[in-house]
Amino acid sequence: MYISGIKINNYRNFKNLNIEFNHGLNVIIGHNNAGKTNLIKALQLVLDRDLKEKPSIDDFCKTNLDYAKPPSIEISIFIKEHNDKADDKNVVYDWLINESPEYTAQLTYIFELPTKNHEEYKKQIEECKNGNGFDQEKCLKLISKKFLQKYVPRIYGGNPSKQEKADSENLERFDFQFLDAIRDAERQMFFGNNTLLRDVLNYFLDYDLTNGQGFENLSAENIELLKQREQEFNTKSKELLKILIGRIDRDKILQYSNETGADKGGKPNFDAEITEQELLFALRLIVEKSGFKIPIKNNGLGYNNLLFIALILAKMQMESSSYMGDNAKVFPVLAIEEPEAHLHPSMQSKFLKFLNTNNQARQIFITSHSTHITSAINLESIICLYDDIIGNSAVGYPGKVFSESKEDKDSKIYVQRFLDATKSNMLFAERLVFIEGLAEQLLIPSFAQYLEIEDSLVDKHVGIISVDSRTFKHFLKLYAYDETDSPYAINKKVVCITDADPTIKKSNKWVSAFPFELDDSENSKSLSTHVTELKEKFEDKYANIFVFHPPEGTGKTLEYELCKENPKSPQLITDAFPSQNSAHTPDNYTAIISRYEDDLNAIIEEYKTKLKIDNLDENRILKSISECTWGDETEKKKALIAAIYYKVVSNAKGQHAFYLEQKLRDNYKIKEDDKRLDFKVPSYIENALTEIIKKDA
């Protein structure tokens, strides 16, 4: 069996949320305050019989809380049949809400004010009203002061409306081990007189004979061997104690008992006996390295955390074995908060692989902020907590958004393979901008600075994720949210910034083109196929996905648009320009843009003069711009210079973007407006960045 889901009502940040779980490993991720810890705490309230603390006034969800009736917390977990062991169904039988085709049981934790106190509550809560209804602060103070101490926690089995309390003996068969983020691993492991370490040591004593089984399950031969070992221990321990007693000057010590008259009740003396269990108290954990013995307190925090988790797993093995007899646990659950604490990335990956294959816990829940952990696990294991586009707590399941179609299977494989530590940040960011490559990755933050919204991108936790333009579709499926058709997707705002990439058909092949080479025939495409597919399959269907590209019919790529918007700007000249053995030197480009205020023919002639070469591509540009039927000559001039600029930087886009970003940043630092050079962010990028920070309704 396994915990298949949880329903949380009115607990902390969860007003009303259903969350599905996987059998085995569940990795719960999300931004800060998404509710990861709250989810584990909700599970703990239902399953942890050792938990003594009750919810406080701060544990009630305050969102739209109706104070007319006493607020309550209700948490239900659902347990489904899966690879059952012998006692599984017996433990949950009284809690069943469905028996076929696979059984489902329900446990419900309710923290509420008893019915007998409701009338008094309703009477007093009326005093907390103002002109707009209930004053929340007054209501909470009243509940905290006069009613919270009367609240009681109850756990019901089966349908909670029947109010049938779950049997405590069966609840005890669940073992919930929770390692929170502020765990003190060292204190738990120093010496054998700590309960955890002592119990584990006792369990593994003579494990080669017992295999962790109870005495009644051992063979006669092994029982005899155990007796021999115990007898040997008793004999040798008595010899040691006899030597120790012999070294004590008993007469000196006992002299005082004689003088005080204590010997009248019998003559004092010394005797000693020690059991194996008592001697375990003397054991302590150490670390041996390079021939040295290092106290555990001097070990690194990361390794001590791993040792502590190893001890917990050993304890879980012990408590679910026949060694515990009728007290054996049936369903051990391990919950770890932020296992990445103090672990470097490769150690995080190794630890996750271990947890995935270890079978001491029937089900594992992990909360994490680590992109390394996210990238190291299967998509099916990830549960993403987040705030949706209108601010409500929500949950997404990256592994469940893909259908069984070949296209979706291919997308799933691609996402799983390429969701590395950098790209997996997309699952943590609150809003997303998908971009095509390194140039956009480098330049967009500086564009935001010129638009005076760079701080807004940070404040709104916008993630800028670089993926290949033709693979946008794979990652977008994670966010293609529809309440009915794709409820498992993540309902975050996503903006895609992509090139227009116009093409023309030549010799039955589609080839890249400049906008001024297009015509109205079927042999021209102002937008590439992948852009139109993004718009049709995602932007047109999903309210949270937006696609921005250079203007259709006149746009091409980022580099082209940069120059088209800034045709005279020396800012665009960087150290990535060829310095020799090329016509595209900074001096030649400067000479060309200096003719911008002249007519188109002047720019063309300057271009021909500076090139001094016979290049088919260059001649193609000149021929096409001359034959272009656009009526606006200014647009033609911009297009020609943009095409020249594109040719200059196209072979070194990343390097050019690196230098350009530095120039733009340095220019922005100049305070005097008369010295700062003008720079215009391409309109499609401005629109995209404005959209991503826009407050949603």
Q: Render pLDDT for 116-167 as a digit per residue (tens, 0 to 9).
A: 999 999 999 999 999 889 999 999 999 999 999 999 999 999 999 999 999 9
Of the two residues 396 and 672, the one the predictor is more confident about is: 396
On whether the CB atoms of residues 343 and 351 are closer than 8 A, the answer is yes
Residue 388 in tokens = 């949706």
What values do phi and psi take at 112, rounded to 5?
-150, 165
User: Could you tell me whether strands 393-396 and 382-387 are parallel, antiparallel, or unpaired per DSSP bridges?
Assistant: antiparallel
HEC string of 88-127? HHHHHHHHEEECCCCCEEEEEEEEECCHHHHHHHHHHHHH
On whether the CB atoms of residues 532 and 470 are closer than 8 A, the answer is no
Q: Which of 543, 467, 427, 469 is nearest to 27 (CA)?
A: 427
Question: What pLDDT, on the 0 to 100 scale, is given for residue 262?
Answer: 64
In sequence order, the 6+-apart residues with CB closer than 8 A to the CB of 68 are 122, 125, 134
Residue 174 in tokens = 């669940």
Q: How many other C-beta atoms are found inside a 10 Å radius of the C-beta of residue 360?
A: 18
CA distance 653 to 655: 6
On whether the CB atoms of residues 461 and 430 are closer than 8 A, the answer is yes
In degrees, rounded to 5, the angle at the alpha carbon of residue 549 between the alpha carbons of residues 545 and 550 is: 160
User: Could you tell me whether strands 494-497 and 431-435 are parallel, antiparallel, or unpaired per DSSP bridges?
Assistant: parallel
Of the two residues 297 and 35, the one the predictor is more confident about is: 35
Residue 113 in tokens = 């004010």
Q: Which of 604, 600, 596 is nearest to 621 (CA)?
A: 604
Cα 255 → chain centroid: 70
45-49, 306-310, 669-673 — most confident range: 45-49
Of the two residues 618 and 8, the one the predictor is more confident about is: 8
CA distance 8 to 44: 12
Q: What is the pTM of this model?
A: 0.88
What three-state secondary structure class fits 527?
Answer: coil
Min mean pLDDT across 36-45, 129-138, 201-210, 501-510 is at 201-210
User: Does the pLDDT at position 187 exceed 70?
Assistant: no
Question: What pLDDT, on the 0 to 100 scale, is given for residue 192?
Answer: 46
Calculate mean pLDDT across residues 26-42. Answer: 95
Of the two residues 122 and 299, the one the predictor is more confident about is: 122
CA distance 331 to 160: 22
Report pLDDT digits (tens) over 421-468: 778 999 999 999 999 989 999 999 999 999 999 999 999 999 999 998
Residues linked to residue 157 through DSSP beta bridges, in sequence order: 107
Indicate the DSSP class of residue 670.
Answer: -
User: Does the pLDDT at position 25 exceed 80?
Assistant: yes
Please report which helix (H) or strand (E) contains residue 201, including its range: helix 195-204
Q: How many other C-beta atoms are found inside a 10 Å radius of the C-beta of residue 427?
A: 23
Query: How high is the mean pLDDT of the chain?
Result: 90
CA distance 192 to 281: 4
Of the two residues 211 and 11, the one the predictor is more confident about is: 11
Q: How many angstroms separate the first and last alpha carbons of the chain?
A: 42
Of the two residues 639 and 240, the one the predictor is more confident about is: 639
Of the two residues 670 and 44, the one the predictor is more confident about is: 44
Residue 123 in tokens = 């009477």
Question: What pLDDT, on the 0 to 100 scale, is given for residue 353?
Answer: 84
Residues linked to residue 335 through DSSP beta bridges, in sequence order: 178, 365
On whether the CB atoms of residues 688 and 548 are closer than 8 A, the answer is yes
Sign of the C-alpha dihedral computed for residues 514, 515, 517 and 522 taken in this order: positive
Determine what percent of the chain is predicted with pLDDT higher than 90.
67
Question: What pLDDT, on the 0 to 100 scale, is given for residue 103?
Answer: 97
Question: In the chain, which segments carry CATH 3.40.50.300?
Answer: 2-181+333-376
For the chain, what percentages of helix, strand and coil (3-state, to nearest 5) are there? Answer: 50, 20, 35
Question: Domain spanning 2-181+333-376 has what CATH number?
Answer: 3.40.50.300
Could you identify the residue written with the tokens 């549960």? 383
Of the two residues 285 and 642, the one the predictor is more confident about is: 642
What three-state secondary structure class fits 10?
Answer: strand
Question: What pLDDT, on the 0 to 100 scale, is given for residue 189?
Answer: 59
Exposure on the CB side of residue 660, measured as CA atoms within 13 A = 30
Please report which helix (H) or strand (E) contains residue 245, including its range: helix 220-246
Residues linked to residue 319 through DSSP beta bridges, in sequence order: none
Calculate mean pLDDT across residues 266-285. Answer: 74
- pLDDT interval class at 212 (50, 70, 90): confident
Calculate mean pLDDT across residues 335-345. Answer: 86
